[in-house]
A and B are shown apart, each in its own frame.
Chain A
Amino acid sequence: ETGVTQTPRHLVMGMTNKKSLKCEQHLGHNAMYWYKQSAKKPLELMFVYNFKEQTENNSVPSRFSPECPNSSHLFLHLHTLQPEDSALYLCASSQDSLALGTQYFGPGTRLLVL
């Protein structure tokens, strides 16, 4: 247990569906991250929130929409996804995104887009 939980663990959706991924951290951290992990590729940073403010959007398509209501919760809203969006989506947290500290990861959501 890393102190970061993600739900659901697995998700299958059609290209016209709308779904949301949820992440919660119990570590008292101020920064939260969304990553995309595809097989045999480096982790791709998608979004960064620091003290609930989005500080990084790494040229992510608008079909991915993040939401951070407070420092402990992070959502990723999905709509009209493409099959190439199938991947493992990892949430992470750290003390502060402006100081390079250890990131703690959740177990991820395995997403399959049909």
Chain B
Amino acid sequence: GQNIDQPTEMTATEGAIVQINCTYQTSGFNGLFWYQQHAGEAPTFLSYNVLDGLEEKGRFSSFLSRSKGYSYLLLKELQMKDSASYLCAVGNSNYQLIWGAGTKLIIKP
């Protein structure tokens, strides 16, 4: 079967750094996406990795290791507005997105 695993919930402190991990097993690989979803709102695109390595975009970075079936999203200088769910999704060989259940990130002052 195909599945995406990510922690259900994480807590971090404002101003700190947090790393949200995602492991995947899919039939083929055509890229990995991270989305952010605030409560009651639409998921919004954060990042896309198709090659191994780190992609940096401001306070957010995403890393991919295809050989390990592993990715992480790194959030630096956390702000209260970063409290949200973070969804990991992988494109399989049929160009379908396989989604994780999401990680709810709670930021405390």
Within 8 A of A (CB), among B1-44: 4, 8, 30-31, 33, 40-44
Contact between A45 and B42, CB atoms less than 8 A apart:
no
* Contact A100 B31, CB 8 Å, known A42-B100, A42-B101: yes
List, in ascending order, chain B residues with CB within 8 A of A106's CB: 42
In whole Å, how far is A97's beta carbon from the nearest beta carbon of chain B? Answer: 7
List, in ascending order, chain B residues with CB within 8 A of A104's CB: 45
B42: which of A56, A99, A108 is its contact (CB, 8 Å)? A108
* Contact A100 B42, CB 8 Å, known A42-B4, A42-B101, A45-B96: no
Cβ of A27 within 8 Å of any chain B Cβ, yes or no, is no
Cβ of B70 within 8 Å of any chain A Cβ, yes or no, is no
Contact between B41 and A40, CB atoms less than 8 A apart:
no
Contact between B42 and A107, CB atoms less than 8 A apart:
yes
By CB atoms of chain B within 10 A, which of A2, A40, A100, A104 has the most?
A: A100
A interface residues, Cβ below 8 angstroms from B: 2, 4, 40-43, 45, 56, 90, 97-100, 102-108
The 6 closest A-B pairs by CB, nearest first: A105-B42, A43-B99, A100-B91, A42-B99, A102-B45, A107-B42
